[in-house]
Structure 1
Amino acid sequence: MRLSIPSGPFKAYLFDCDGTIADSMPLHLLAWNEALAPYGAHFPADLFYAWAGIPVPRTVEMLGEHFNLKLPPQEITEAREAAYLKRLPQITPVYAVKEEIERHRGRAPMAVVSGSPRASVIRTLDYLGLLDRFAVIVGGDDCARGKPFPDPFLLAAAKLGITPTDCLVFEDGELGIEAAKAAGMQFVRVPVSATGILP
C-alpha cells in the first residue's frame, strides 16, 4: 500500500489508531457484535465503517436510535472493550503507516487521536511496540465532542504546542478526515475496505 503524502513541511504528525496505525478494525467489529449479541442487536459492517472514529458510548446511543432499542452504554462499552482485548494478539500494524511513524521518530512530535477509549489505545500501541513514539494520546474519553468535530485534533495540537495548520493527520475514517479538515489540517487518507486494510 502506498500513501499519498502532502509535501509539507509539517511540524507535527497526528495519527488515528484503529485502521490507521493498527489493522484492528475487523477485530473491533467482532468485539462490537459480541458485546451487542446479549441485547439482540447487531452492528452491520457498513455502519461500523461509516461511524469509525465516533467515541464508543456515543456509538452505543446511535445504534440504539438507529434500531429503536434501549442499549446500556456503560455495560456495552465495558463488554466491547473486554471482547476487543482478548483479540489483541491478532493485531498487526498497518506497515505503510508504521514506516511513516519510524521516519518521523525523533524528528517531529507525534500524537495519536482516536475515538477509542484512551486505555484501549494505550494497550494497542503497547502491544505493537509503538507506545513510546508518541508524546500525546487523545482518546475518545478526552473530549466532550469527538470526530467529526475538530476538537480531538485541536486538543492534540495544543498539547504538542503546534499550530493546527502545521500538523499532518493520518486517517482511515471519513469522520476523522472531516475532523482534520475542520481543524484546518492537511491529511493522508489510509485506504480501508470492509475486510480490513487494502494491500
Structure 2
Amino acid sequence: MNRINCEVEPIKSMNMKSIKLYTDTKALIFDLDGTLADTMPLHFEAWKKAAEVMGVEYSFEWLSACAGMPSSKIIEKLNKEYNHSIDPQEFSVIKEEFFAREMHKITEIKPVTDLVYKYHNQIPMAVGTGGKRNIAQETMEILGLDKYIPILVSADDVNNHKPEPETFLKCAELMGVDPKFCQVFEDGLLGIQAAETAGMMVTDVTPYY
C-alpha cells in the first residue's frame, strides 16, 4: 500500500442553505471534527507527519474511511489488516503532538455552528466525538462552543467507538432525552452509522459546506 499526498483544503462554505430540524427533534447531538470544527485538514496533516516518524504506510482513501475513530483504534485496524506492529498509543501521542501545534488554525463550520447559536437555551445539546477529551475540549474552547454546549462525550468516555452507538447513546442519557428524539449532525460514514444504530435521526452536514 503506497503512501500518498494527504493535502486537504480547509472548508470554504459557499452553501447558503440552512440546516433544518426534524419535527420530532427534542435534542441535538453534534460530531466535532468535520462537523462543528474545520479540523480534518489538520488531522490528516498530523497523521501524515506521525506516519512518517513511525514508518507507517497507508492510502488517503483508507484513512478517510476511518474518520470518526480514535487514532489508536485506527492503528489497531491498520495492524490487523496489513500485518503491521505499530504501537497504537505511541502513534496517538505523536499524532496529537503534531495536531496540537496547529490548533490555533481551527475555524468553525458556520452552517452547523449557526444551529448551536440559534437553539442555545432552547434545546438540549451535546457533542459526541471520537477524539480524546483534552483535544476535543480545547477545540471547543478555541471556537467558544464550550459556552453553548455543556455536554461532551469523547473517546475517553466510552468503551465502544463509532460506528458503535455508545457515544451518541451516552449523549442522550446525559441530556435525559429518549434517543429517538435526538437529531445527530455528522460528516463521517462511521458516525452516521452510529446514529442510525442508536435509533436517532441523523443529518449528513457535508452538503451544507
Per-residue CA deviations over 1:3-29 (Å, capped at 9, x if unaligned) read: 553432321100000000001111101
Counterpart secondary structure, 2:157: coil
Following TM superposition, by how much is the alpha carbon of 1:63 offset from its aligned partner in structure 2, in angstroms? 1.8
CA distance in 2, matches of 1:115, 1:127: 18
1:152 aligns with 2:170: no
**Aligned pair 1:52/2:56, yes or no?**
no
- The 1:117–1:43 alpha-carbon spacing in structure 2 relative to 1, beyond 3 Å, is farther
**Structure 2 residue corresponding to 1:128, chosen from 143, 147, 157:** 143
Q: How does 1:20-39 map to 2 (within 5 A)?
A: 20-39=35-54
User: Which of 122, 137, 145 is matched with 1:107 structurally?
Assistant: 122
Preserved contact between residue 54 and residue 91 of structure 2 (Cα < 8 Å): no
User: Which of 69, 78, 89 is the equivalent residue of 2:93?
Assistant: 78
Partner SS for 1:115: coil
Report deviation, 1:74: 1.2
Q: Deviations over 1:139-195 (max 9, x none)?
A: 012111011011110011001111001111000000100000000100110117xxx
* Matched letter for residue 78 of structure 1: V
1:8 to 17, 20, 23: 23
How many residues get paired? Answer: 194
- Paired with 1:7 and 1:184, the residues of 2 have a C-alpha distance of 14
Matches of 1:175 and 1:153, distance apart in 2:
12
CA 181–35 in structure 1, closer or farther in 2 if over 3 Å, else same: same
- TM normalised by structure 1 equals 0.92
Return the alpha-carbon distance in structure 2 between the equivalents of residues 119 and 133 of structure 1.
18
Partner of 1:195: none
TM-score (normalizing by structure 2): 0.88
Residue 44 of structure 1 and its aligned partner are, at CA, apart by 2.5
Q: In structure 2, what is the equivalent of residue 65 of structure 1? A: 80
Verify the 8 A CA contact 1:29 1:43 in the aligned structure 2: no
1:143 aligns with 2:163: no
C-alpha RMSD of the superposition: 1.5
Aligned residue for 1:52, secondary structure, equals coil
Alpha-carbon shift at residue 55 of structure 1 (Å): 2.1
Alpha-carbon distance in structure 1 between the residues aligned to 2:65 and 2:197? 18
Question: Partner residue of 2:189?
Answer: 174
Q: Mean Cα displacement is larger for which, 33-42 or 180-189?
A: 33-42
Give 2:31's aligned amino acid: D
40-49 or 109-118, larger mean C-alpha shift? 40-49
The answer for unaligned runs of 5 or more in structure 2 is 1-14
